[in-house]
Structures are given as C-alpha cells and as structure tokens.
Copies of this chain bind each other. A is one copy, B any other.
C-alpha cells in the first residue's frame, strides 16, 4: 500500500502515519518526493488497512498495490480452471453453451426447447423456476414445479441443468435438481447466498452485478471459493451505463481482462447483455472471438408468447443459426465447441 500525504502535511502528521502503518503490522518506508511525501507500507494483507489509513490527518490518499482477492487470482493458480457439471464443460479451451427459456412455463415448452437447443449444439439447459422480478406484480416462476419439469427435460436429453437460486432458503431444494446454481446479477453481493452456494456441492454460475467492478465480482467469487467450492464460472451479462438503446452495455473486454486476472472461466450472456433479439447473434459471435469460455442464451419456442424476456429470446431457428456462426468463429480462434446433432432429431 502506498500512503500519499498531502502537500502541506506536517512532520508530525507524517510520523503519525508511519506509526499507524506500523501499528497495523506493516513495515513502513518513507519516500520524500520533490513535492510530497509518500509512505510505502510493506506486507499488506487486509483491505481494512486501506480504510484505516485513509482517515489519518494529513493523508491525501491510500493506493493499494495488491489485488484484494486471493483464491480467485491467476497469480495463485496460473492454469485455467475447467468447470464440469454433467454434460457441461466450461473453460480451459472448452466452450460451453447454455441455452433455454428465461422461465420454465410448461412441460411441453421446456422439453421441446431442450431437444431443440441440444440438436443445435447446446451443452446445458437453462430455465428459471425461481424468478427475481423487478415488479411484485410480474410472474414469479413455477418454483419447485418448474424444477421438476427441468429434471424431466434432462432425463430426455441428458443436458445439464442451470437454474437460479434466489435465497439461502432454497439452496438445498434447488441443489436437488440443478447441476449448476446460478446466482443472479441482483444477488451478486448477497453474501449469505454466496456463502450458502459455496457450501453446496454444485457448480456455480455467478453473474456480475449491473454496477459491480471487476474487483467486486472477483471478491464475490472469493466468498464462494472461500467456502470450499472451486467450481465457479463468472458471467458477464452487461453493466448499467447511460446507453438506453440496449438494455445493458455488454463489455466484452471483460473476457481478456478476467483471463489475465483469474483462472476461473468466463461465460457471456448476450441476451441480457443487449436486451434485443436482433443483437444477440452478432454479440454471441463476438463473445466467442473475444475468447469467452461459455455462452448463456435465452431460447424460447415462441418468444412472442413468453411469460418473460421474450424481446431478447431467440427462437429455435435463430438459435441454430447463431450456433452455426459461433462454431465457425470458435474454430477461427481455436476454441473447442460441441458439434450440432442432426437437426431433425431435436425438433
């Protein structure tokens, strides 16, 4: 940590800051610049120290040098992590594709979709049973009934199941059915939930909060890893910016950035990341070109009648075309992706 003193800091204030550094168990190293004094604090271990030093008299700012996350860091584990959950493999060169409806609505809907997305090359089925909705008056999901229908779809297709868990109360129940527990963007900093999924034996798909920094995302992952669960996939699904023509702004630079900072795989969600069906195929292809380890896509048999997110869902034909495009791009950049099965089979 570097403690930057104000220009007019007095010798007493500098001495005091040095004492504070040392009281925190760090070694101090005073450097007198031409205009200011800075104190290097060596051996920094904890985030709180930054806070503690910042409020000292005469201190201008405190600059942390070490990343605050540890287990998630690529410095700790240089080789990339592959997360495997049933039919789904994500990371270390394997491109996993998770597809399915925003909400499970009926047996017919989820089973047909499972067949169709498998036929086009998806390696896992997504579907919402517990739905976090902005409005209390919106459809809240089929709950356990929805999980049962998803399990049925898995039986028929062999696809691993990815579904959201909204509350610590539901972790056990959802774990009974799902292969991957999704933590939604709105719960990225619901630390109790992170701890609970960290204690479960299921892989976790952790979505970035709409205004979370990369450090906050990695520290949220750290909450899960810290409980002993190493199977964490990070998911970039767009951030909130001034842009209004897309639902969120999808920053694909997150992929190479995260690949440098962490060994965890990175999944991209172009459906939420754009919020418009017509933007999804190009952004899915772009995500693959950027080196994404996985995609999560909303697919619905008839988006116009979907109970949620129809405006950003692909129909079966659009999904198959998107997969075709992504497959070519994956080959171009050297990523492995599952081949589509005979289309006839799944429809």
Report which A residues bind B (CB closer than 8 A).
Answer: 2, 4, 7-8, 20, 29, 31-36, 38, 40, 42-44, 46-48, 51-52, 54-57, 63, 65-66, 68-70, 75, 132-139, 166-169, 186-187, 189-192, 209-211, 213-216, 219, 222-223, 226, 239-246, 249-253, 255-257, 260, 273-274, 277-279, 282-283, 285-291, 303-311, 313, 325, 328-329, 331-333
Per the bound structure, the CA–CA distance linking A254 and B220 in Å amounts to: 29
Q: How far is the CB of A291 from chain B (nearest CB, A)?
A: 5
Which B residues are CB-close (under 8 A) to A191? Answer: 132-133, 136, 166
A38 touches B36 (CB 8 A): no
Q: How far is the CB of A318 from chain B (nearest CB, A)?
A: 12
Q: How far is the CB of A130 from chain B (nearest CB, A)?
A: 9
B325 touches A213 (CB 8 A): no
B55 touches A139 (CB 8 A): no
- Tell me whether A211 and B213 are in contact in the complex, defined as CB-CB below 8 angstroms, given that A43-B34, A253-B279, A257-B279 are known contacts: no
Q: How far is the CB of A275 from chain B (nearest CB, A)?
A: 9
One of B133, B134, B168, B289 near A169 (C-beta < 8 A): B168
A31 touches B40 (CB 8 A): yes
Which B residues are CB-close (under 8 A) to A48? Answer: 138-139, 307-308
Which B residues are CB-close (under 8 A) to A331? Answer: 332
Q: How far is the CB of A231 from chain B (nearest CB, A)?
A: 17
Which B residues are CB-close (under 8 A) to A279? Answer: 253, 256-257
A213 touches B242 (CB 8 A): yes
B241 touches A249 (CB 8 A): yes
25 A–B contact pairs at CB < 8 A? A4-B65, A20-B304, A29-B31, A31-B42, A48-B138, A52-B310, A55-B303, A55-B306, A55-B310, A168-B169, A169-B192, A211-B211, A211-B239, A213-B244, A240-B240, A241-B241, A241-B242, A245-B257, A252-B286, A253-B279, A282-B291, A285-B290, A285-B333, A286-B289, A286-B290
Q: How far is the CB of A16 from chain B (nearest CB, A)?
A: 9
